[in-house]
């Protein structure tokens, strides 16, 4: 996923936690991003779960796939 890795709560850096139900995140954790500063949970698409400190989803910057192994991030093709 192409996601800006800055928590929308207070700017900490969420960690990618793809494992399901790890001991430290509980049995309901289905994988995603966890902010260690204040505990916000985001799903694998960067959407914040209800009831979290973070008010918004993680931002998705404009990006394009230029080749099988090349991604350009930050250029909005509609405005270019």
Tell me the domain boundaries of the chain. Answer: 1-80
Residue 77 has pLDDT above 70, yes or no: no
Q: How confident is the model at residue 75 (pLDDT cuts 50, 70, 90)?
A: confident
Q: Which two tokens stand for residue 33?
A: 């991003």
Task: Give the model's pLDDT for residue 15.
Answer: 96
Work out the average pLDDT over 51-80.
Answer: 90
17-54 pLDDT per residue, tens: 999 999 999 999 999 999 999 999 999 999 999 999 99
Our answer to whether residue 38 is catalytic in this structure is yes
Task: Give the model's pLDDT for residue 66.
Answer: 93
Question: 1-80: what fold?
Answer: Rieske Iron-sulfur Protein (2.102.10)
Q: Which of 30, 38, 65, 73 is catalytic?
A: 38
Task: Give the model's pLDDT for residue 1.
Answer: 82
**Rounded-to-integer distance, Cα 50 and Cα 46, Å:** 13
């Amino acid at each position: 996923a192409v996601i800006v890795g800055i928590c929308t709560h207070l700017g900490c850096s969420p960690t990618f936690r793809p494992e399901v139900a790890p001991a430290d995140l509980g049995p309901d954790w289905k994988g995603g991003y966890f902010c260690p500063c204040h505990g916000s949970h985001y799903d694998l698409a960067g959407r914040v779960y209800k009831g979290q400190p973070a008010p918004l989803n993680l931002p998705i910057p404009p990006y394009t796939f230029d080749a099988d192994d090349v991604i350009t991030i930050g250029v909005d093709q509609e405005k270019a």
